[in-house]
Amino acid sequence: MVPEKKMNDFVSRLRDAAGANLESVILFGSAVAGDFHPEFSNVNLFCVIRDGSFAALQALAPAVKWWDDQKQPPPLFMTRDEIKRSTDVFTIELMDIKEHHRMLFGEDVLQDLTIPTKLHRVQVEYELGEKLALLRQHLLLASGNDSRMWELLLRSVSSFATLFRHALMVLGHEAPVGKREAVQALSKQIGSDASAFLQVLDVREKKADRKKFDVADVFSRYLATLERVTAAVDRMLDSDSAGPV
């Protein structure tokens, strides 16, 4: 299901364009985690370069535009030094890439990367709160339109499942890689209702027909679960940060 030939073609084009400027090309995300879906998943690539200047990036543009023509998102480009300096702001992203990635070219620059767990917890709290607020905004615009509401559920479930996995880490529990397994594990730990997320994943994975579900009911339970998860993480961090007066 993962478009291996297209990935290899892109790496070849990028190597030709970048020359010595390209250190590594890293595949991450669902294509590595094992739950890639051709309709909803992207091929996520992380490229490590030596020079991120305007002129250097212009040389890479033709290869990246070709990749865009394949209906894939532009890769992330960072220098090795930028990666080391970004562990305090991109903790979730770098932790995921470090734990689950596949080298397509070059040296594995993530192997010895150290990521501060305290800052990871703060980012999980922030991301949950921000994405919950954004979901409410988009829901208001989609309200009354079943198709748009389903699109919102199907497009958001992957990001929330990732955050659920990281919430498990914050709460001190083992975090499975798979989206479905992460949702179920977190539900068990905090006593939340996982049914809406599992139904959305079933629809996303073509295991169920969306017509069998009332989208308003699914969205209601989906939102309630997100609120419960966000509150659980907030309470834990507030509790940990509270000290003697």
The pLDDT score that the predictor gives to residue 244 is 40
Token code pair at residue 99:
């734990």
Same domain, 121 and 57: no
Secondary structure class of 53 (helix, strand, coil): coil
Question: What's the average model confidence in pLDDT over 18-45?
Answer: 89
Q: Is residue 182 classed exposed, middle or buried when 0-12, 13-18 and 19+ CB atoms within 10 A define those classes? A: buried
Q: Does 112 map to a domain? A: no
Number of domains in the chain: 2
Q: Are strands 22-28 and 44-49 parallel, antiparallel or unpaired?
A: antiparallel
At 201-234, the pLDDT tens digits run 999 989 999 999 999 999 999 999 999 999 988 8
Q: Does 111 map to a domain? A: no
Same domain, 193 and 99: no
Token code pair at residue 58:
């212009």
Of residues 165, 157, 104, 166, the one with CA closest to residue 135? 157
The pLDDT score that the predictor gives to residue 150 is 98
At 13, which amino acid appears?
A: R
Angle, to 10 degrees, between the axis of helix 215-241 and the axis of helix 117-142?
A: 150
- The alpha helices in the chain, defined as continuous H runs, are 4-18, 30-33, 54-69, 80-85, 91-99, 117-142, 146-170, 179-190, 195-204, 215-241
Residue 241 banded pLDDT, cuts 50, 70, 90: low
Question: What's the average model confidence in pLDDT over 143-148?
Answer: 96
- List, in sequence order, every beta strand (DSSP E) within the chain: 22-28, 44-49, 76-79, 101-106
Distance CA 96, CA 169 (A): 12
At 149-200, the pLDDT tens digits run 999 999 999 999 999 999 999 888 988 888 999 999 999 999 999 999 999 9
Secondary structure class of 121 (helix, strand, coil): helix
Number of alpha helices (DSSP H) and beta strands (DSSP E) in the chain: 10, 4
Domain boundary among 60, 83, 106: 106
Q: Does 143 map to a domain? A: yes
Domain boundary among 84, 106, 128: 106
Residue 239 banded pLDDT, cuts 50, 70, 90: low
Angle, to 10 degrees, between the axis of helix 215-241 and the axis of helix 195-204?
A: 120
Token code pair at residue 69:
């023509």
Same domain, 99 and 127: no
Same domain, 87 and 26: yes
The pLDDT score that the predictor gives to residue 121 is 86
CATH number of residue 150's parent domain: 1.20.120
pLDDT at 33 exceeding the cut of 90: no
Q: Does 121 map to a domain? A: yes
Domain residue limits at 13: 4-106
CATH number of residue 74's parent domain: 3.30.460.10
Secondary structure class of 143 (helix, strand, coil): coil
Same domain, 68 and 134: no
Same domain, 79 and 155: no
In the predicted model, what is the mean pLDDT of the chain? 92
